[in-house]
Amino acid sequence: MDYQKELKEWYEHYEARYKKAVSLHIDEGSRHYQAFREIECRYVALYLVMELMQNLPKYLLQEDTEKRIKEVIMLILQQLFLGEVIVNEHRQKEYISRRIMLSREDTRSIEIYQAAENAIKRMDENAFAWKEDARFTAEFQADLFHIVQWMILAREMIVPVEKNKKGICA
């Protein structure tokens, strides 16, 4: 599967929707504001993913490869994070994520979730020591794709903006 091509299609889809929403001048008082913010969130996250995918070969040639890549991944994950960030009484940030329930009959969503879970494990275990290997780039792109696919699908379950659309992130 060509993960970069699939991500590019998603990016172009959300870019078009974002530009249309901006042209409508949706403000906080509009009933469409939450959908606008969600489309913006996905658009920005997919922009960061596309930038990382395109610049990955350049990042791999630099000395601080792991640091740079992890910084961009953290930006993507922050953008797609489902939940709230609060400051507790000790002035520390706490991340409260939303719980998503999947039906056993929804095998496609379960497969996407399991692929993302496996991708996260591989990224945690992955050492950037063999970064010059072409296999690393392919595996990294696949893992990033699966994580982003799950996070967008999960966001869609919480804030649906793809009603009557088939194929986006599924």
From residue 59, give the alpha-carbon distance in Å to each of 55, 67, 127, 137.
Answer: 6, 10, 15, 11
User: pLDDT, tens digit, for every residue of 63-112?
Assistant: 887 788 888 999 999 899 888 888 889 999 888 878 888 899 989 999 99
Q: What is the per-residue pLDDT for 19?
A: 95
134: tokens are 């072409």
Range 99-104, long-range pairs (CB < 8 A, 24+ positions)? 100/154, 100/157, 100/158
Q: How far apart are the first and last CA of the chain?
A: 14
* CA torsion angle 76 5 124 60 (round to 10): -90
Give the chain's length. 170
Q: Domain locations in the chain?
A: 1-156
Whether the per-residue pLDDT at 62 is higher than 90: the answer is no
From the CB of residue 13, how many other CB atoms can be counted at a distance below 10 Å?
Answer: 19
Structure token pair of residue 164 = 């009557």
Query: For the whole model, what pTM was predicted?
Result: 0.85
For 79-93, what is each residue's pLDDT tens digit? 998 888 888 899 998
Helix (H) / strand (E) element for 97: namely strand 93-97
DSSP characters over 25-88: T--TTSTTHHHHHHHHHHHHHHHHHHHHHHHHHHHHTSTTHHHHHHHHHHHHHHHH--EEEEE-
